[in-house]
Amino acid sequence: MNIVADENIPCVQQAFASLGEVSLLPGRVMQAEQVRDADILLVRSVTRVDASLLQGSSVRFVGSATIGFDHVDRDYLQQQGIGFATAPGSNATSAAEYVVSALMVLSAQQGVELAGKTVGIIGCGNVGSRVRCKLAALGMTCLVNDPPLQASAGHDDFVSLEEVLQADVVTLHVPLIKDSPHPTFHLVNAALLDRLKPGAILINTSRGAVVDNRALDALLATRDELSVVLDVWENEPTIRPSLLQKVDLATAHIAGYSYDGKLRGTEMIYHAACDYFATPAQWRAADVLARAASIDLRDHGTDDLLAVARAAVLACYDIREDDARLRATLPLPVTERALAFDRLRKEYPLRREFSESTVLLREPAGAPGQLLSGLGFQLVSSH
């Protein structure tokens, strides 16, 4: 079979070699003539998959190595009898760890404790539920708003959007939906932004258009006490430079870019393709993943639990490095800046998840060890 794949899907050639010959292309500029003879098309979120791309092609299966699917016309695929699979939850842990790293940095900059603070989680699916677990481990009180999940699952611990907006931290983990009973396009608009409590932290790792970027830009011109963390932007890769300059932490849509998460996504769509074509799977992500380096905290004081957690988190993933890389693109002309945004994603450095790092502690059973374990780290006693 002929397979066309986004060049940013890791190990895609090795994984799909058992199914056919893999050709790599840049996903953002993938054209119809390039996929016309493909049997399998593999994409990420930057490729719009619809009739304009697939009409007249021989594509029989589309795999998106992402948790979202707003870039795919699923109705068209179904009408054409084209198989489709995504990778739900593949990068959820990575995105949750991004939120933790951001809060570690901001809490240090502002000199505040996280324990006892309230966090409003809008969307409690694969990512939001992991955020909830990790922030609860930090002693934060989690308020959850997710109307679709509340309606389908009958949970009774959800709160209104109005209550969430009064939290110390508001973090967004919803898909981009424009036409349903619960649309999320510009969910956080000027009116909602204005209701954020003084000094609140707003984090968006979902989709750029969930937040009205123009309204947020205008708001931050008058409310500099707010702290904002943006990983996703409207009109990527041509993002608003004025907004980039105003937010506290800014990254190039890489929250879910741990190597573990990306390989997990490759594995999930590979297995889905094997199932679709009734072919035994021959590749596993585990075969190419090795343990990350150990983090030695044996000489770190244990009185300040947040400081211990911060040391481990930032040793594993320091969001400030991604922030610096994106801000370095600001002096570039507009077209070059957009190319640089995509290059930051394509050439993203190796990043491992907390669970792949072993933390060395003198007393793992103590409070610091319990906290780190709650964040997902593996602990080893070492005297």
Which tens digits make up the pLDDT trace of 346-368? 999 999 999 999 999 988 878 99
Same domain, 127 and 236: yes
Q: For residue 381, is pLDDT > 80? A: no
Same domain, 111 and 204: yes
382 confidence band (pLDDT: 50, 70, 90) = low
Q: How far apart are CA 72 and CA 64, in angstroms?
A: 9
Give the mean pLDDT of 327-332.
98
Q: How far apart are CA 148 and CA 124, in angstroms?
A: 10
Which domain covers residue 360, as residue numbers? 295-334+349-381
pLDDT for res 302: 73
Strand partners, 21: 2
Give the mean pLDDT of 232-243.
97
Give the mean pLDDT of 323-346.
96
pLDDT digit string (tens) for 48-70? 999 999 999 999 999 999 988 88
The alpha carbons of the chain give a radius of gyration, in whole angstroms, of: 21
Same domain, 83 and 99: no
Same domain, 62 and 119: no
Residue 340 domain flag: no
Told to judge if 253 belongs to the known catalytic residues of this protein, a careful annotator would answer yes
Residue listed under structure tokens 């123009």 = 214
Q: How far apart are CA 200 and CA 220, in angstroms?
A: 12
Q: How far apart are CA 204 and CA 322, in angstroms?
A: 15
Taking alpha carbons only, the member of 309, 291, 292 closest to residue 300 is 309
Query: Taking CA 193 as the corner, what is the angle to CA 215 and CA 107, rounded to the nearest 5 degrees?
Result: 115
Q: For residue 240, is pLDDT > 80? A: yes
pLDDT for res 228: 98
Residue 141 domain flag: yes
> 234, 236, 267, 356: which is the annotated catalytic residue?
236
> 130, 132, 186, 207: which is the annotated catalytic residue?
207
pLDDT for res 336: 97
> 132, 253, 325, 337: which is the annotated catalytic residue?
253
Pairing of strands 378-381, 358-361: parallel
210 confidence band (pLDDT: 50, 70, 90) = very high
Q: For residue 5, is pLDDT > 80? A: yes
pLDDT digit string (tens) for 152-163? 866 668 999 999
> Do the beta carbons of residue 364 and residue 304 sit within 8 Å?
no
pLDDT for res 181: 86
Q: How far apart are CA 153 and CA 369, in angstroms?
A: 34
pLDDT for res 153: 67
Alpha-helix residue ranges (DSSP H) falling in the chain = 12-16, 32-35, 51-54, 74-79, 92-110, 126-137, 147-153, 161-164, 190-194, 213-220, 241-246, 259-276, 305-316, 319-327, 334-346, 367-375
Strand partners, 144: 121, 158
Told to judge if 182 belongs to the known catalytic residues of this protein, a careful annotator would answer no
Same domain, 110 and 202: yes
Residue 339 domain flag: no
Same domain, 141 and 197: yes
pLDDT for res 375: 97
Q: For residue 306, is pLDDT > 80? A: yes
Distance of CA 135 to the CA centre of its chain: 16
Q: For residue 383, is pLDDT > 70? A: no
Give the mean pLDDT of 229-249.
98
CATH number at residue 70: 3.40.50.720
Residue listed under structure tokens 């995504």 = 86
Strand partners, 230: 204, 250
> Do the beta carbons of residue 170 and residue 201 sit within 8 Å?
yes
Q: Is the dihedral of CA 377, 138, 209, 322 positive or negative?
A: negative
Q: How far apart are CA 184 and CA 332, in angstroms?
A: 32
Same domain, 142 and 177: yes
Taking alpha carbons only, the member of 319, 378, 313, 373 closest to residue 133 is 373
Residue 310 domain flag: yes
Residue listed under structure tokens 């992500």 = 285
Same domain, 100 and 226: yes
Residue 83 makes CB contacts below 8 A (sequence gap 6+) with 60, 61, 62, 77, 272, 273, 276
Residue 342 domain flag: no
Q: How many domains does the chain have?
A: 3
Same domain, 302 and 198: no
pLDDT for res 63: 98
CATH number at residue 300: 3.30.1370.170
Same domain, 80 and 55: yes
Residue 262 domain flag: yes
Q: For residue 193, is pLDDT > 90? A: yes
pLDDT digit string (tens) for 93-129? 999 999 999 999 999 999 999 999 999 999 999 999 9
Q: Walk across the sheet containing 2-6 and list its strands.
A: 21-25, 2-6, 40-43, 61-64, 83-85
Residue 20 domain flag: yes
17 confidence band (pLDDT: 50, 70, 90) = very high
Burial 270-296 (b: 16+ CB within 10 A, else e): bbbbbebeeeeeebebeeeeeebeebe
Residue listed under structure tokens 């070059």 = 336
Q: How far apart are CA 276 and CA 60, in angstroms?
A: 10
pTM, to two decimals: 0.90
Residue 136 tokens read as 């609860």
Same domain, 49 and 82: yes
* DSSP annotation string for 226-245: -EEEES--TTTTS--HHHHH
Told to judge if 337 belongs to the known catalytic residues of this protein, a careful annotator would answer no
pLDDT for res 150: 86
Q: How far apart are CA 278 and CA 276, in angstroms?
A: 6
Give the mean pLDDT of 180-203.
96
pLDDT for res 317: 97
Residue 77 domain flag: yes
What percent of the chain is modeled with pLDDT above 70?
98
End-to-end CA distance of the chain: 56
Same domain, 98 and 246: yes
